[in-house]
Amino acid sequence: MTEQNKQVALVLGATGGIGGEVARKLAACGWRVRALNRDASRARTFEWIQGNAMNAADLMTAAQGVSLIIHAVNPPGYRDWEKLVLPMLDNAIAAARSVGARIVLPGTVYNFGPDAFPMLRENSPQHPVTKKGAIRVEMERRLEVASRTGVPVIIVRAGDFFGPGAASSWFSQGMVTAGKPVHTIKNPARRGIGHQWAYLPDVAETMIRLAERGDRLPSFAVYHMDGFWDADGYQMAAAIERVAGNTIKTRTFPWWIVPLSAPFITFMRELKEMRYLWREPLRMSNERLVAELGSEPRTPIDEAVRASLVSLGCLGSIAPEVEVGVSVQAVH
What letter represents residue 214's amino acid? G
User: What is the pLDDT, as a whole number, of residue 113?
Assistant: 93
CB atoms within 10 A of CB 114: 13
Radius of gyration of the chain (CA): 19
The Cα–Cα gap between 52 and 36 comes to 7
CB 140 within 8 A of CB 103: no
Q: Which residues fall within 8 angstroms of residue 143, CB to CB, at 6 or more apart?
A: 89, 93, 103, 105, 151, 153, 155, 220
Coil vs helix vs strand at 101 = coil
Identify the segments of the chain with pLDDT beneath 70.
Answer: 1-6, 38-44, 76-79, 266-267, 316-332
Is the whole-model pTM more than 0.75? yes
User: What is the pLDDT, as a whole number, of residue 3?
Assistant: 54
The Cα–Cα gap between 311 and 320 comes to 5
Helix, strand and coil content of the chain, in percent to the nearest 5, comes to: 40, 15, 45
Coil vs helix vs strand at 153 = strand
Nearest partner of 309 among 267, 225, 246, judged by Cα: 246
The Cα–Cα gap between 198 and 92 comes to 25
What letter represents residue 218's amino acid? P
Coil vs helix vs strand at 180 = coil
Q: Which residues fall within 8 angstroms of residue 18, CB to CB, at 6 or more apart?
A: 72, 106, 161, 165, 166, 200, 203, 204, 327, 328, 329
The Cα–Cα gap between 233 and 228 comes to 11
User: What is the pLDDT, as a whole number, of residue 5?
Assistant: 52
User: What is the pLDDT, as a whole number, of residue 325?
Assistant: 32
The Cα–Cα gap between 117 and 277 comes to 10
